């Protein structure tokens, strides 16, 4: 990223230019990807063709608009104009959406979501059962050390989890897994709607209609808020997922280390297979 930043700086491409061009470059895939992960009738070929045709249309329209609006002059400065970038963005996302949606409507597929659901279910056992491993459930009134105390706390935490699961009427690992997916989906859907309303309606429209021109202090505050937002977003999107997945990452790295010593020895084997063998 640092190397690309230096290259862009010396050829005169600003962050604003790059930010606007991202819509032309990537916008064609927005609707096809949304269809792929949310609509079982999405046509696979339609989504691929929609993304590629939208990309080609966006680039073509962007360059044609630049030439027409600037007397045939195409360079970094002229391609960064508002109307030029707007043309490329609209054609990219619009053509990608029209092709993929039309193709899906005319020739719908019928994807079986059980395939993707089972990808999560057939992996590791849920935390409810994992927490019980290596824990002595027989606890009496005799004095105990810190290790015993830790085991009791683990038992208590597991029992609370099981009780919460029982209240919801979930009995199998598959049901527990899907309940978690539904909860995550609701959170993601509500968050997406709220953020869309905030960033596309509540913030820009009042500024547009009021024709606000920032002073030095107002613009400084705007930039500082933007920088704070970027750092918080980076933490949530980049750092926290790594921390949240630390156990899985260490397990994978452990398997890689074993494979480097003896090929195949680092392969993960389910607990059920270990027990049966």
- pLDDT number for residue 62: 96
Lowest mean pLDDT among 47-51, 55-59, 76-80, 162-166: 162-166
% pLDDT > 90, the chain: 42
- Establish if 191 belongs to a structural domain: no
Q: Does residue 125 lie within any of the structural domains?
A: no
> For residue 164, is it within any domain?
no
Q: Six-digit token pair at 60?
A: 């073509």
Give yes or no for residue 34 having a pLDDT over 90: yes
Distance CA 70, CA 84 (A): 10
Question: In this predicted structure, what is the pLDDT of residue 137?
Answer: 47
pLDDT band at 124 (very low <50, low <70, confident <90, very high): very low
Residue that is last in its domain, among 84, 111, 138: 111
Interval 77-86 mean pLDDT: 93
Burial zone of 109 (CB within 10 Å; 0-12 exposed, 13-18 middle, 19+ buried)? middle
Q: How far is CA 111 from CA 27, 38, 55, 186, in A?
A: 24, 11, 26, 22
Model confidence band, residue 112 (pLDDT cutoffs 50, 70, 90): confident
Res 98 pLDDT > 80:
yes
The residue out of 96, 111, 126 marking a domain boundary is 111
pLDDT of residue 178: 73
Residue 161 vs residue 123, higher pLDDT:
161
44-72 average pLDDT score: 95
Does residue 88 fall inside a structural domain?
yes
pLDDT exceeds 50 at position 93: yes
User: Is there a domain that residue 124 lies in?
Assistant: no
Residue 135 lies in a domain: no
Domain limits for position 231: 213-267
CB distance 120 to 181 below 8 Å: yes
Q: What is the dihedral of CA 61, 64, 70, 75, to 10 degrees?
A: 90
Q: Look at residue 11 and tell me if it is in a domain.
A: yes
Q: What's the pLDDT score for residue 183? A: 86
Write down the pLDDT at residue 24: 95
Report, in angstroms and rounded to the nearest whole number, the Rg of the chain calculated over CA atoms: 27
pLDDT computed for residue 168 by the predictor? 55
Domain count, the chain: 2
Q: What is the pLDDT of residues 237-257, one digit of tens each?
A: 999 999 999 988 988 888 888
Q: Is residue 225 part of a domain?
A: yes
Least confident of 12-16, 54-58, 61-65: 12-16
Q: What is the mean pLDDT of residues 187-200?
A: 91
Q: Which of 111, 139, 159 is the last residue of a domain?
A: 111
d(CA 261, CA 4): 37
């Amino acid at each position: 990223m640092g190397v690309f930043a230096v290259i862009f700086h010396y050829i005169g491409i600003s962050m604003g230019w790059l930010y606007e061009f991202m819509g032309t470059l990537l916008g064609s895939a927005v609707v096809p990807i949304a269809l792929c992960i949310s609509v079982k009738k999405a046509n696979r070929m339609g989504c691929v063709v929609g993304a590629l045709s939208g990309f080609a249309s966006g680039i073509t329209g962007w360059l044609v608009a630049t030439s027409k609006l600037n007397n045939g002059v195409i360079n970094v400065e002229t391609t960064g104009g508002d109307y030029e970038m707007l043309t490329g963005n609209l054609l990219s996302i619009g053509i990608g959406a029209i092709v993929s949606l039309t193709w899906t409507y005319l020739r719908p597929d019928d994807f079986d979501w059980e395939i993707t659901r089972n990808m999560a279910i057939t992996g590791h056992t849920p935390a409810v059962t994992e927490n019980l491993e290596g824990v002595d459930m027989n606890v009496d009134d005799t004095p105990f050390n810190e290790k015993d105390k830790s085991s009791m706390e683990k038992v208590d935490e597991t029992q609370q989890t099981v009780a919460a699961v029982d209240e919801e009427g979930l009995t199998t690992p598959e049901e527990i897994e899907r309940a978690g997916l539904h909860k995550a989906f609701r959170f993601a859907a509500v968050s997406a709607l709220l953020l869309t309303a905030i960033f596309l309606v509540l913030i820009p429209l009042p500024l547009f209609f009021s024709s606000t021109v920032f002073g030095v202090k107002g613009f400084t505050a705007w930039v500082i808020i933007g920088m704070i937002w970027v750092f918080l977003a980076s933490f949530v999107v980049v750092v926290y997922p790594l921390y949240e997945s630390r156990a899985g990452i260490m397990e994978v790295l452990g398997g890689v280390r074993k494979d480097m010593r003896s090929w195949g020895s680092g392969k993960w084997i389910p607990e059920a297979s270990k027990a049966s063998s």
